[in-house]
Amino acid sequence: MLKDFFNNKSKTIAAAAFILGAASLVSRLLGLIRDRILAGQFGAGDELDIYYAAFRIPDLVYSLLVFGAISAGFIPVFVSYLQKDKEKSWHLANSVLNLMTLSLIVISFIFVIFTPWLMKLIVPGFDPEKLSLSIQLTRIMFLSPLFLGLSAVFGGILQSFKRFLVYSLGPIMYNIGIIFGALVLVKYFGLLGLAYGVVLGAFMHMLIQVPSAYLCGFRWRPVFDFKFEGVQRIFKIMPARVLSLALSQINFWVMTVFASFLTIGSIAVYNLAFNIWSFPLGVFGLSFVLAAFPKLSEAAQKRDISNFVKTFSHTARRILFYILPATALFILLREPIVRIILGTGRFNVDNIILTYQTLSYFSIGLFAEALILLFLRGFFALEDTKTPFIIGLFATVFRLSIAWILSQSMGVPGLALGFSAGSILYFILLFIAFRRKLKCIRGRA
């Protein structure tokens, strides 16, 4: 029975999306519970500003090195080998896993040394005491990219084999670890307990996927094959994707810098509103995108453009079917949503008002951000990472410029409005470029 659970296979995109959506719903609910606990214990003040600021550098390492390789290159290349030679596919998986692990250890060690200087760039508005505590939390959190890196490779294998059930449990385990840190570890280690909870969650994220990867046929081998053709293909795709993700991280970093100069608690409010806003994005957007990506990759490898367009267009319509009502709901019920989720303990009325105002402006760009995820995966399946990077560069400059201007008069809600304006522009430009690339994407339907 346990073997059947870890070896469960999703046969259709709808079935996979349902599993991913249900698991994402649980994960996001846990995330909201996590945020409620954090808001109740600390309020929108110095502690949460420190906690969210400490995420920035470890998250940067994970996003650029891990997510850049896996989301852009590993799955399409791994799928192409599965269709031809399974032995080579496992050689590729071991090479990527080992090379990534070694890279993460070296890079994380270097970043740990230079954390004090880097944090001064991320939160220049922090006083020396807040900066010192931010540095301590950041150094502890550098263990999380290593575990999440291993988990990403296992997750890529599971997605390729359509084992979405176990894959979808990773984020749930991650949130459970953070909640355990907030409820238990904080009592023993103070604010550092939150960082230990993040590391525990990352380890559990990895551990839950190992048995299923083993059942798919993965066996670890000490392979470091830089010259393997599949590794070279990933390296070729990776730079532009890494640069695109760097833009995303620059966006979060600059937003954090902007917020650090606003009123105390602005970083916390921005992150808490962003987490609530991302709830439907994960449940209805990312779940369909992840479910469709292996099929898009298979169609792209076979040069089956007709099936590629059909899958892409059908997925886009399903995303909009759920995202548009969610957007209306968030805008109309923004105050009770924030009050129910965060209105407890030290999270006072002023915090609630500022957070629901920020959430309403985030919601304007929700549909665009959901479709951006799909368009990016469409480009990745076609092994084109340069086009979205160029478009993303322009959209990021626009987004940050507008956010800075609006924040001067509107505060944190201005940052959210600038974010949404950049998302809408990014989506429009991706739509135009994708349509030119494929000639037809059934836009009218």
Q: Is the separation of the CB atoms in 20 and 287 below 8 Å?
A: yes
pLDDT of residue 224: 81
Give me the long-range contacts of 244-250 (CB less than 8 A, separation at least 24).
244/68, 244/376, 244/385, 244/388, 244/389, 244/392, 245/63, 245/64, 245/67, 245/68, 246/64, 247/389, 247/392, 247/393, 247/396, 248/63, 248/392, 248/396, 249/56, 249/59, 249/60, 249/63, 249/64, 250/396
152-166 average pLDDT score: 83
Backbone angles phi, psi at 38, to 5 degrees: -65, -45
For residue 5, pLDDT beyond 60: no
For residue 348, pLDDT beyond 80: no
For residue 445, pLDDT beyond 60: no
Tell me which residue has tokens 């169609």.
299
196-220 average pLDDT score: 90
> d(Cα 429, Cα 421) in Å, to the nearest integer?
13
Least confident of 230-234, 307-311, 417-421: 230-234
Per-residue pLDDT of 390-417, as tens digits, reads 898 899 899 999 999 998 888 888 999 9
Q: How confident is the model at residue 128 (pLDDT cuts 50, 70, 90)?
A: confident
- 90 token code pair: 């496992």
pLDDT of residue 334: 84
Q: How confident is the model at residue 8 (pLDDT cuts 50, 70, 90)?
A: low
> d(Cα 190, Cα 186) in Å, to the nearest integer?
4
Q: What would you report as the CA-atom Rg of the chain, rounded to the nearest whole angstrom?
A: 21
Q: How confident is the model at residue 72 (pLDDT cuts 50, 70, 90)?
A: low
pLDDT of residue 12: 62
pTM (two decimals): 0.69
pLDDT of residue 36: 80
Q: Is the separation of the CB atoms in 291 and 13 below 8 Å?
A: yes
Q: How confident is the model at residue 85 (pLDDT cuts 50, 70, 90)?
A: confident
Q: Is the separation of the CB atoms in 155 and 70 below 8 Å?
A: yes
Q: How confident is the model at residue 423 (pLDDT cuts 50, 70, 90)?
A: very high
Least confident of 21-30, 108-117, 382-391: 21-30
Q: How confident is the model at residue 418 (pLDDT cuts 50, 70, 90)?
A: very high
pLDDT of residue 266: 79
Half-sphere exposure of 357 (CA within 13 A, CB side): 15
Q: Is the separation of the CB atoms in 68 and 60 below 8 Å?
A: no
Domain residue spans of the chain: 2-438
Least confident of 217-231, 400-414, 424-438: 217-231
User: DSSP letter string over 396-409?
Assistant: HHHHHHHHHHHHHH
Kindly provide the b/e burial profile for residues 162-184, where b requires at least 16 CB atoms within 10 angstroms of the residue's own CB. Answer: bbbbbbbbbbbbbbbbbbbbbee
Output the average pLDDT for the chain: 82
For residue 105, pLDDT beyond 70: yes
For residue 22, pLDDT beyond 80: no
For residue 3, pLDDT beyond 90: no
For residue 425, pLDDT beyond 90: yes
For residue 255, pLDDT beyond 80: yes
> Which H or E element spans position 263?
none
